[in-house]
Structure 1
């Protein structure tokens, strides 16, 4: 048998091994996410993941070199899922403040439905964990989406020029994270739009034109 034929014959086996490996990685991450949801983000451990997977702890290291690596993969997984949700919400809205508000409301709904991942992504519950550059890529895309919405709001005359800045984006971030922090701390089982905190988010977003008033008033429709 030629070397080319041998390589072709062995490829299905390699493909199956690669597929099984990816499936096991996803299963490990599913288990890890379940542990965090049930027992808290800091309760995650290699030994508990191995126990639920039905293997010995050293077997997990074939797929992840450390517990921090599992956290990193969970961070990236959550960021990619969240980015897709926010992007879809903004795409269905008018450019500018409407898109920004709809995107942030989608963030709120997603965070309350995925509390463990949201805590890992948007707060710092795990000492010494710093996401890798690769895991941070979806977060950077998220920031760019929000900054683009602020730019669109300035162009549309909804906000003044100062809104197209890092400071304005920091304020937006504080608004959504402040509401989510209160909701997660006091009403974690309520969905977005119910309770004392998340329903006031639209009112908070109405503060932006007061903070960054448009330079000129748009003419009223006759």
Structure 2
């Protein structure tokens, strides 16, 4: 039997999250207020607490939702079997995901909300995304924590520059292939020398 009350509760939570994202995109993550969210979904602010215990709980649900979206996005990457080509694809998919929704990028990959820390449950979804990236890199022959750290530093750096200095443009997006060529040359050299990349 269907639990209609639970379905309505989940539907309202999803509506609240959708509105929270809308406000965060318009006002910035720090500009999100529960009063504004409640007003836009047509309820009194105290009623919102029956869905989310606090503003941090809303941020936490947004973080988990964004992390799940990242996992879904990663699953779309179709690798070719050529390491350099695949690195370019992985980097492009990451930067595209992040620049598609800069607010989501800030919540997932930067510390822009003072005092907010995702719950262990929500953070586990994020860690799953990083582990999937680690497995993908290992599958194309790139291993080691430094190789992963360097790759994430490069792609988030390109993303930061693109979002900050050319929103809606492609100034730093155009550099993805060059950055991956440099990265691949560096990692390949280290691996041939027997060093951890």
Q: TM-score, normalised by structure 1?
A: 0.80
Deviations along 1:190-216, one digit per CA (max 9) or x if unpaired, are 3xxx2x211101111111233222529
Q: Report deviation, 1:97.
A: 4.2
- Structure 1's 210 and 97: CA in aligned 2 closer, same or farther, altered over 3 A? closer
Q: Does the 8 Å contact 1:100/1:149 carry over to 2?
A: no
Q: Which residue does the alignment assign to 1:94?
A: 80
Match of 1:24 among 12, 21, 27: 12
SS, match of residue 140 in structure 2: helix
Looking at structure 1, the residues matched to 104 and 125 of structure 2 have their Cα atoms a distance apart, in angstroms, of 14
Greater RCO (Cα-Cα under 8 Å, separation 6 or more): 2
| Of 198-207 and 144-153, the range deviating more from structure 2 | 144-153
Is residue 170 of structure 1 aligned with residue 149 of structure 2?
yes
Looking at structure 1, the residues matched to 164 and 184 of structure 2 have their Cα atoms a distance apart, in angstroms, of 29
Q: Does the 8 Å contact 1:82/1:110 carry over to 2?
A: yes
| Of 145-154 and 177-186, the range deviating more from structure 2 | 145-154
Q: Report deviation, 1:115.
A: 1.4
Looking at structure 1, the residues matched to 166 and 72 of structure 2 have their Cα atoms a distance apart, in angstroms, of 26
- Structure 1's 20 and 112: CA in aligned 2 closer, same or farther, altered over 3 A? same
Q: Which residue does the alignment assign to 1:143?
A: 130
Is residue 70 of structure 1 aligned with residue 61 of structure 2?
no
Q: Does the 8 Å contact 1:97/1:149 carry over to 2?
A: no
Q: Which residue does the alignment assign to 2:165?
A: 186
Q: Report deviation, 1:152.
A: 2.6
Looking at structure 1, the residues matched to 80 and 123 of structure 2 have their Cα atoms a distance apart, in angstroms, of 27
Q: Report deviation, 1:62.
A: 0.2
**Aligned pairs, how many?**
190
SS, match of residue 112 in structure 2: coil
Q: Which residue does the alignment assign to 1:4?
A: none
Looking at structure 2, the residues matched to 150 and 86 of structure 1 have their Cα atoms a distance apart, in angstroms, of 12
Q: Does the 8 Å contact 2:87/2:180 carry over to 1?
A: no
Deviations along 1:46-104, one digit per CA (max 9) or x if unpaired, are 11101111111101000000000000000010111111111211xx1124443343223
Q: Which residue does the alignment assign to 1:215?
A: 192
| Of 206-215 and 53-62, the range deviating more from structure 2 | 206-215
Match of 2:38 among 50, 75, 97: 50
Q: TM-score, normalised by structure 2?
A: 0.90
| Of 143-152 and 67-76, the range deviating more from structure 2 | 143-152
Q: Which residue does the alignment assign to 1:159?
A: none
Q: Report deviation, 1:107.
A: 1.8
Q: Does the 8 Å contact 2:84/2:184 carry over to 1?
A: no
Looking at structure 1, the residues matched to 89 and 33 of structure 2 have their Cα atoms a distance apart, in angstroms, of 36
Indicate the structure (1 or 2) with the bigger Cα radius of gyration: 1
